Amino acid sequence: MWTFRRVETIILAVVVLAALGSLGYGLVVKSAKWVTTSGLLFDVAGLVQLKISGLFERVLDEFGNDEKYPYGPPSHITRMIIANPDTPMRTAFRDLAIFDTRTGFYLLIVGVALQLAGTWL
């Protein structure tokens, strides 16, 4: 049975191997495009590794600590979280753009894909 962590680990290995391969090829043929592609792939590998290592969860757990913050996060954080019922569209967009963790992941994937496309155009 495949677990999500196992799939992430395989993805990390494949991306690192692709990055190393493109770096090696780029250095041999002296191609800036392949070296740039390698750098972008290493960026993706770094983000996957940070996800696997749990860095993002540790950061989020800091403000969820009931012992350190028994009344919730500090007021400046709380003011960013509170939704305004008078502006449901703006609140929905803000919740999607800021608080949904999948949004950042998708933005990174789109950004890397666009950088790769721009490199090869």
Break the chain into its structural domains and give their ranges.
4-53+84-120
At residue 17, does pLDDT exceed 90?
yes
Residues 59-71 pLDDT 10s: 667 766 777 766 6
- pLDDT tens per residue, range 65-111: 777 766 666 666 665 556 556 667 776 766 666 566 666 667 677 77
Closest CA to 36 of 121, 115, 109, 108: 115
- Which bin fits 30, alpha (ψ -120 to 50), beta or left (φ > 0)? left
Distance of CA 45 to the CA centre of its chain: 10
